[in-house]
Structure 1
Amino acid sequence: MIRKFKETDLNSIMKLWLETNISAHDFIDEKYWRSNYEKVREMMPKATIYVYEDNSIKGFTGLSGNYIAGIFVEADSQSKGIGKALLDYIKGINEELILHVL
């Protein structure tokens, strides 16, 4: 199920944010992600966030206006359609979206 972010989701999505960034960006020193953790944690509730939940949070996407700030899916749930479901969901509720890819 995809739903809007709740304040009680913050710890779960931050854990997912950190683990996913460290894993996906092995060319960036892990210290970078850890040193920005608190700053990102403060910013998260200001974004528009949708979570994919199946007994626990398996993924989430964050938007700043119509800019897709990120799509994150836990390692064990990748390649199971969760990222696509999140993207399809936000495409269905936004006329225009912008994404930058590294």
Structure 2
Amino acid sequence: MKILVIGDRDMVNGFQLAGIKDVYEANDPWKIKEILDDVKFMKDVAIVIISRRMAQEIRDFLDEWKREKGIYPIILEIPDKKGGEFEDPMRSLVKRAIGVDILKR
């Protein structure tokens, strides 16, 4: 099983330096969706790493993609150099399911 990275040039270069060979440079939502559509048919991908900022831009697409694919590959959202606000997807799922934010700090 392999790890695949989708991100901007800096993110991709960083993971290549760390030894990840399967990297895809993408800077716009259409390119990311195109790459993920190709990943659907790859049987040997265990983890897809994508920046949180990019994932937020295509959240509806990712949610649908996860429903189709199940739990594999795992989508791992990491912060990029621009940072930004992030709400944990599990937190929003729990809130939507029961109607209350039980994880509120």
Calculate the TM-score normalised by the size of structure 2: 0.31
More helix by share: 1
Calculate the TM-score normalised by the size of structure 1: 0.31
Larger Rg: 2
